[in-house]
Amino acid sequence: MLNLCSDNEGPIAPKILESIVDANSGFAHSYGEDKLTGQLKEVFSEVFEREVEVFPVVTGTAANALALGHVTPPYGAIYCTGHAHILVDECGAPGFFSGGASMVKVKSSQGKIDGSDFQDLVDNWGAHGDHEPKPCALSITQTTEVGTLYSVEEILKLSELAHQHGMVIHMDGARFANAVASLGCSPADMTWRAGVDVLSFGATKNGALAAEAVVFFKKEHAKEFGRQRMRGGHLLSKMRFVSAQLLAYLEEGLWLKLASHANLAAKWLRDGLVDLRGVKVIYKVEGNAVFACLPERMLKGLLAEGYLFHRWPGEQGLVRFMCSYSLQKKEIDEFVRAARLLA
Ligand SMILES: Cc1ncc(COP(=O)(O)O)c(C=O)c1O
């Protein structure tokens, strides 16, 4: 039955699974001293068109928490939207790995921080002097938790403001590939050229078994991150199998092919649902997610037929449909037909 609960619930992409099997011959040095891990820096540097520092880890939460914890001192504050995974879904891990930093919620619209709202905040900093946490990091998610996208210009505006105040810009790229595929820009344009300092590069949601990477665009931020990762328990002894996944993911544009298909699946779904009586699509569909309010009868009917998706906190009847790269058009069409019959 069609599963729209999460892209996490999809299968491993065959080429990535093969890469794990290929890596499974004989012995290789442990803790990232193997040949495959040794290739990551060059491959990522090529993708991002500059020298980067890359640290593979196995969850997106670890990538976010270890990265943010590394660039934020215990007395610092990390700014993000109220939807941010780092705020609502990581059980305080970024604050924990910084040694105590605070998380500050910034107003958002369509899942994004607006430059002028951020400017207002920035203008009001400092009134309490040493009594208030120091603004140290701004974290934005691309694609956002509600499936929308920051334009390159929007990222640039936020990073200019944040840099003026000595903050570091972190991008949660759990669905980074979906954003690159959708915007059609280069990974470099969407990150360091737009002022991003550190990226949580995701692969798991888009076909990997468990592979993410912290990518630093400035060497000084990466200093001693190896120890931070070790303390966080993400320096894997068998790192070669994580690195094999990342290499296969980036090889011959596989990551963008998979993400383009997931994005297309979301468009098919949106287009099929948007005109049905009682259905309201509430966020722009720019990645692989569709958020819609469905009439209760339709919602219950679809669940009763065995379709899998999550109700979402918020408005009455709100549902999140998250599309995996592995969904077929035929499956989406059948789902839309079932929804239409219930409309
Ligand atoms: C935007 C975002 N960031 C980070 C994560 C964390 O990924 P993981 O579940 O691998 O820790 C998720 C997972 O749902 C996510 O949606």
Per-residue pLDDT tens digits of the chain, which is 343 residues long: 899 999 999 999 999 999 999 999 999 999 999 999 999 999 999 999 999 999 999 999 999 999 999 999 999 999 999 999 999 999 999 999 999 999 999 999 999 999 888 988 888 888 899 999 999 999 999 999 999 999 999 999 999 999 999 999 999 999 999 999 999 999 999 999 999 999 999 999 999 999 999 999 999 999 999 999 999 999 999 999 999 999 999 999 999 999 999 999 999 999 999 999 999 999 999 999 999 999 999 999 999 999 999 999 989 999 999 999 999 999 999 999 999 999 9
The residue behind tokens 């080429």 is 15
Atom of ligand 1 nearest to the CA of 6: 14
Q: Which of 30, 12, 29 is nearest to 21 (CA)?
A: 12
Residue 288 beta carbon below 6 angstroms from any ligand 1 atom: no
Ligand 1 neighbour 339 (Cβ under 6 A): no
What domains are defined for the chain? 13-253 (3.40.640.10), 254-342 (3.90.1150.10)
Q: Per the structure block, which two tokens stand in for 188? A: 């470099």
| pLDDT for 312 | 95
Ligand 1 atom index nearest CA of 204: 10
Is residue 332 a contact partner of residue 14, using CB atoms and an 8 Å limit?
Answer: no
Q: Residue for token digits 């287009």?
A: 271
Give the number of other CB atoms < 10 A from CB of residue 316: 9
DSSP state string for 300-337:
HHHHHTT-B-EE-SSSTTEEEEE--TT--HHHHHHHHH
Instruction: Give strand pairing partners of 78.
Output: 103, 137
- CB-count exposure of residue 35 (10 Å: 0-12, 13-18, 19+): exposed
Give me ligand 1 centre to Cα 205, in Å. 8
Q: What is the pLDDT of residue 1?
A: 85
* Rg, C-alpha atoms of the chain: 20
Contact 147, 288 (CB under 8 A): yes
CA distances from 182 to 14, 157, 228, 231 (A): 23, 20, 33, 36
Atom 9 of ligand 1, nearest CA residue: 60
> How many residues make up the chain in this entry?
343
For ligand 1, say whether the CB of 170 is within 6 Å of any of its atoms. no
Mutate to test the pocket of ligand 1, among 7, 66, 88, 89 (most ligand atoms within 8 A of CB): 89
Residue 122: what pLDDT? 81
Answering whether pTM is above 0.95, one says yes
Farthest CA pair distance, the chain: 61
Helix axis angle for 152-164 and 115-123, nearest 10°, is 10
Supply 74's token pair.
């215990």
- Ligand 1 centroid, distance to 60 Cα (angstroms): 5
Q: What span, in angstroms and rounded, lies between the C-alpha atoms of 44 and 37?
A: 11
317 lines ligand 1 (CB under 6 A): no
- Structure-token match 């105590």, residue found: 100
Spatial contact of 66 and 57, defined as CB atoms under 8 Å apart: yes
